């Protein structure tokens, strides 16, 4: 699967480590950053300007953005275009699964400064936000999308079965996890996990996932599978 990013800071997209780095090395995933500045205007490659009507900060101009998207799509047709913006739909695991099905891949448009000229929204198939907070630009959200989606590409994770029971997999937070030793500083591993009874383990994990979700993210329970 391919990920293409239009950004003012392409150096933020190399190198990668961990499973994503291995996936890139193995050719399972391709990540290419396209410097927006190369489509900038005039001698100084200008990409931003002051907003009409006044106000603080600078706004990315439409001409470089349109030129960048059109150029990348000419070289890599069929990419699903994603505008990373605080006004976008909040990223969820459900949306991540949908993005993972987009072939040949994604074109992520990362902004900077005070945002995009409004006309740039016409470039996007989808607008996404990673949360209700403010960042300096869209590069970190783009990396979040790449990491989340790439994990679903076959072969990227050593144990694909680990995807089945992760947090948000069925709209629940993940159950507590334990490893050796069975007791540490007076804290013991719950008895069902030591019983060897697989049915008891599954029941305990389901119960704990429901309790944790109810305590920490009750909004998710409405989407929980029966």
CA dist 155 to 23, 79, 103, 210, Å?
8, 21, 16, 30
Of residues 158 and 18, more confidence is placed in 18
Record the pTM. Answer: 0.88
The answer to whether residues 168 and 93 touch, using CB atoms and an 8 Å cutoff, is: yes
Predicted local distance difference test score (pLDDT) of residue 165: 57
Using the predicted structure, report yes or no on whether residue 13 has a pLDDT greater than 60.
yes
CA dist 153 to 18, 102, 125, Å?
15, 11, 21
Percent of the chain with pLDDT over 70: 93
Average pLDDT over residues 1-10: 98
Average pLDDT over residues 28-36: 98
Domain ranges in the chain with CATH number 3.40.1280.10: 2-150
DSSP state of 157: S
CA dist 142 to 4, 6, 65, 126, 152, Å?
10, 10, 16, 13, 16
- Among 28-32, 54-58, 67-71, the range scoring the smallest mean pLDDT is 54-58
What's the pLDDT band for 207 if we cut at 50, 70, 90? very high
Average pLDDT over residues 52-58: 92
Spell out the residues 6+ positions from residue 68 whose beta carbon is closer than 8 angstroms to its own: 6, 34, 36, 38, 39
Hey, CA dihedral for 8, 14, 17, 20, is it positive or negative? Answer: positive
Using the predicted structure, report yes or no on whether residue 57 has a pLDDT greater than 50.
yes
The CATH code of domain 165-223 reads 1.10.1270.20
Kindly report the average pLDDT of the chain as a whole number: 93
Domain ranges in the chain with CATH number 1.10.1270.20: 165-223
Phi, psi for 187 (deg, rounded to 5): -100, 120
pLDDT in tens, 75-127: 999 999 999 999 999 999 999 999 999 999 999 999 998 899 999 999 999 99
Query: What's the burial of 189, exposed, middle or buried (CB within 10 Å: 0-12/13-18/19+)?
Result: middle
Which homologous superfamily is 2-150 in?
Answer: SPOUT methyltransferase, trefoil knot domain (3.40.1280.10)
Average pLDDT over residues 55-71: 96
Residue that the structure tokens 């995933």 belong to? 29
What's the pLDDT band for 224 if we cut at 50, 70, 90? low
Predicted local distance difference test score (pLDDT) of residue 161: 59
What's the pLDDT band for 160 if we cut at 50, 70, 90? low
């Amino acid at each position: 699967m391919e990920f293409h990013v239009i950004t003012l800071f392409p150096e933020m997209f190399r190198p990668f480590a961990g499973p994503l780095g291995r996936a890139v090395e193995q050719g399972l995933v391709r990540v290419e950053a396209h410097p927006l500045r190369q489509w900038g205007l005039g001698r100084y490659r200008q990409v931003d300007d002051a907003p009409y009507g006044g106000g603080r900060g600078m706004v990315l101009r439409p001409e470089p953005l349109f030129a960048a998207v059109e150029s990348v799509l000419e070289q890599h047709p069929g990419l699903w275009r994603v505008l990373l913006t605080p006004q976008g739909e909040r990223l969820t695991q459900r949306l991540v699964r949908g993005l993972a099905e987009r072939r040949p891949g994604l074109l992520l448009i990362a902004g900077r400064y005070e945002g995009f000229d409004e006309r740039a929204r016409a470039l996007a198939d989808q607008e996404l936000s990673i949360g209700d907070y403010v960042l300096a630009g869209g590069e970190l959200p783009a990396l979040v999308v790449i990491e989340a989606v790439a994990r679903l590409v076959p072969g990227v994770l050593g144990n694909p079965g680990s995807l089945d029971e992760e947090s948000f997999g069925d709209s629940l937070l993940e159950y507590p996890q334990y490893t050796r030793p069975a007791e540490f500083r007076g804290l013991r591993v719950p008895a069902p996990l030591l019983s060897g009874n697989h049915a008891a383990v599954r029941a305990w994990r389901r119960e704990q996932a429901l309790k944790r979700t109810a305590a920490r993210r009750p909004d998710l329970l409405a989407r929980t599978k029966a």
